[in-house]
Structure 1
Amino acid sequence: MARTSIATVAIGAILVSGLLGANAAQAAQINAFLIPEHDEGYAKFMGLKFIQIKYPQGSDVANVFDGVNQKIEFTVPLTAEQLQQVNRALLESNSPMQLANANVTYSGTIRGSHDTLTLAYRTELDALVSGYVLNRSDNSTETILVDSNWRGFVIEGPVIVDAEQHGQVNVNEPIGLLQAAFPEFAQKLMDANSETKAIMTEPILDFGDIGRMPLERWHILFDPTISQASVKGVINTDIGRAKVLSVYSLGECSIREGCPEPREADSTASIDGSDLRVHISTPQPNAQIEIAGYTTLETKPENGDLEVIGVNLDQQGTVGPPLFTMQVLLILGGMMGAVAIIVLYKARK
């Protein structure tokens, strides 16, 4: 029994520290704050990829990239057409969620040496969201049903934005960075072979790995103090009648889930008489979803296996604090009692 209590405390501490560190830019990442009572919220979707291209020293390709250190970085609002493209991708993932007032922040880095070209990409979408509530209720005792399929959407194809000083930039495919900075070489890569083209057109805004991880395997924390809310000042933080914040976290390693896996792919290409090796890597996914209200995992029969989150504003159906909170309080109480006994024992000696 003592071993179980100590293990529970340790796991709880790891879980909380993981949640506090979830904002680190480690991977394809989602940070979202949802207020189901108002069917509104804020979400940040970030895609991150790295490409390494190896070429022979002294080759024509080496002569182009040796010593290059270039960065393209900007933030622009999405146009109505681009916003429609994103919302269409959400609908294709069987989610009713829609984005509005969205900005895209893009950062692409090109670094070359005598034998290696390194490309790094980060594309972020920041947006107000709505439409994810599946039923409407004015009664705080009724369960609000919330869609969760949006967390796995993928934007296929180029997303081309107008960036001041950089012209038109494709922010959703790795080839876009080279098309903006080295268009001739970019075209040669695209013409090389199908495997290389597939790598260079792989979507950056791809959250499929996050969507494929069942919510029951995410870490869940109930925060009655609302201290975990990470978007204060971004949207109206009035969470209405909700008395607790539910925090879903993905990305920490654990005994049960292990560690989310990164994705990698390789190809070869012959350009200007040189054999190139192309390697792409996508780090493991990371996500934190905060929902105003006490949540349970449910499934609507008409949705088949699609996951639906039930939200109660006043924790109806529960007695006292959520189970996780009760466990922590009881364990801490037991620890304090044990400390008190030790102190009294030592005082009497």
Structure 2
Amino acid sequence: MTKAIILTILLAGLIVIGTSAPAWGAQLDTRINPNNAESPFKMSYLKTIFIEYPDGGVLFDALSTSQWIVSGTADSTNPGVQELMSNLNNGIQSDGSQARISDLNVIYEFQLKGRSIQTSIDYRVVLEGTITDYIITEDSQKQLVDLGWRGLTTTSPIQINGIEINIPLGVLETEEPLLYNTFVGTEAESVLNRELINADFILEQPLTNWHFLFDPTGINADASTFGLDASIAGFVVSSWTMGESSIREGRQVERVYEAEVMADELYIIRSVQSTDTANLSSIGFGALDLLDGVEIIGVTPTPPADYMTTSTGGFPIMIIYGMAGLAAVGGIGFFIISSRSMKNQAQGQQGIDPSNLVGYQTSASSGGYQTNRGEAHLKDDTDYNQTRSVYEDMQKETLPQETLPEEIVSTQTMPSAGEDDAACGCAASAEIGSECDCEMQGSCLCDATCQCNADVCKEHVHEMS
């Protein structure tokens, strides 16, 4: 187990070290054409300086509402640009590369913006130029292209049009003398003297760690129908990119430097540079190689016949071995723990002893035939009839006899007529003052309650009484 812990710590250390890398504020974009003697490039450098005044003070009074921009451009005819180009070429040569910058244009912009809690100064310098002498050798099959020039860096002060463009403190000397005098001779001076034009990390990051892709559009038969650029007709285009955080490239973070200055009040100076990014492409299929410690590519018009992958990503072999070792350690640990658990378990018969069971043959199943299935239960005084199959006894259900209800005959009784219900036509005739109907008809149709004075009615009532 001690070895497993040591191996785990070593693997974790490799991952942490592999993902911790410096990041500078440089951004490269270039396309190399091996068929031409020169190719364009563009390099941008970015940095921001923050000046915080949490307790107010003289700088708060001077900067909180201040705002200015200094910008300009210059070409290779400018003495400052010529000095910069010379310094960059010297740096390229010291890196072992034979390439050189033949033309250079400089764009710079510095902007100060004051706020109530802090002031920010943004520095931006863009170099647009031409790189040449990058072809090491060539023949009818391929060209060897030098890529060791990509770390364009200079630590020297560079003044263009009277403006210092490389050392941030120099800009303050001409544009904000109050800030310059406050920070000179303090810890903040070292923060503000860090050069802006620095692309060392782009060179230090091996191209084998960059992401590689190639575009085969140029070798398609019908590519010309889509307005294909003539420079890539018949060629593939290889591309390398860097700048993302990964185990291969390292953890890309902003580069931050900070210092505190105690003058009339406490001031905090913080320098922040964005992460490095780069996009480098070459017309043709590029295969990476090293020549005298300088990274180069061997360029052919098309990829090898057996090359079918359009994206590399050779995962670091040490990481692969480390992951395999960690899996092996985990497996060994699992078997050790399992073995110890088995040793701690009770030995011998587990559960019910078969000698305490008695078996019975199962009776006929629901299909009406005998099966090979059986039943078993513990030996005790319990009657087997309590547990035997329910199919042995067929219980018959009997229904109770139906009883018919007796017929009930109801006897209808006629109501007797009362005095109020008597009907007498003679009375009706008397009410309207007419002659008795019974007398007119010669017979009485009234009942015994008739009180008519006609002779016919009297005789009829007498007969009925």
TM-score for the superposition, normalised by structure 1: 0.72
> 1:114 aligned to 2:116?
yes
Match of 2:41 among 35, 40, 43: 43
The answer to whether residue 318 in structure 2 is matched with residue 319 in structure 1 is no
Partner residue of 2:133 out of 131, 134, 152? 131
Contact 1:241 1:313 in 2 (8 A): no
Identical columns (%): 24
Offset at 1:255? 6.4
Question: Using the alignment, how far apart are the partners of 1:56 and 1:70 within structure 2?
Answer: 22
Larger Cα-atom Rg: 2
Take 1:259 and 1:225, find their aligned partners in 2: how far apart are those partners? 33
Superposed CA offset, 1:262-304 (max 9, x none): 2111112233x2222111111111110111111011112xx13
Alignment of 1:76-91 (within 5 A): 76-78=74-76, 79=78, 80-91=82-93
CA contact (8 A) 1:241 1:314 kept: no
Aligned to 1:188: 182
How far apart in 2 are the matches of 1:238 and 1:70?
A: 45
Which of 204, 207, 223 is the equivalent residue of 2:196? Answer: 204
Which secondary structure state, in structure 2, belongs to the residue aligned with residue 150 of structure 1?
A: coil
C-alpha separation in 1, matches of 2:250 and 2:100 = 32
- 1:172-321 alignment, distance < 5 Å: 172-193=166-187, 196-225=188-217, 239=231, 243-254=235-246, 256-257=248-249, 259-271=251-263, 273-300=264-291, 303-304=292-293, 306-315=294-303, 318-319=304-305
Match of 1:157 in 2: 156
C-alpha change, 1:120 and 1:307, in structure 2 (3 Å) is same
Letter aligned with residue 225 of structure 1? T
CA distance in 1: counterparts of 2:247 and 2:44, whole angstroms? 27
Q: Is the 8 A contact 1:172 1:205 kept in 2?
A: yes
1:242, 1:292 within 8 Å by CA — same for their partners in 2?
no
Identify the residue that residue 100 of structure 1 maps to in structure 2.
102
Aligned residue identity for 1:113: R
Contact 2:211 2:242 in 1 (8 A): yes
Quote the Cα distance in structure 1 between the aligned partners of 2:306 and 2:38. Answer: 28
Change (3 A) 1:39 1:187: farther
2: CA distance, partners of 1:84 / 1:145: 25
The number of aligned residues is 276
CA 1:178 to 1:223, structure 2 compared with 1: closer, same or farther past 3 Å? same
Q: Is the 8 A contact 1:57 1:115 kept in 2?
A: no
Q: Which has the higher strand share?
A: 1
| CA displacement, residues 9-65 of structure 1 (integer Å, 9 cap, x when unaligned) | xxxxxxxxxxxxxxxxx9420001111232310100111111111124431111110
Contact 1:145/1:310 (<8 A) preserved: yes
Paired position in structure 1 for 2:379: none
Does the Cα contact within 8 Å between 1:190 and 1:200 map onto a contact in 2? Answer: no
Q: Which residue of 2 aligns with 1:140?
A: 140
Q: 1:100 deviation in Å?
A: 2.4
Which among 48, 63, 75 is matched to residue 61 of structure 2? 63
In the alignment, the residues of structure 2 paired with residue 96 and residue 179 of structure 1 have an alpha-carbon distance, to the nearest angstrom, of 37
Q: From the superposition, tell whether residues 90 and 183 of structure 1 become closer, same or farther in structure 2 (CA, over 3 Å).
A: farther
Q: Distance in 2 between matches of 1:188 and 1:134?
A: 51
Show structure 2 runs of 5+ residues with no match.
1-23, 220-228, 313-465
Q: Give the unaligned 5+ runs of structure 1.
A: 1-25, 163-167, 228-236, 327-349
Aligned 8 A contact 1:109 1:119 in 2: yes
Note the aligned Cα RMSD (angstroms): 2.6
User: How much does 1:322 deviate?
Assistant: 4.8
1:109-159 deviation per Cα after TM superposition (whole angstroms, max 9, x unaligned): 111123312111111100011012222x2x331x32222222223211211
143-152 vs 249-258, which moves further? 249-258
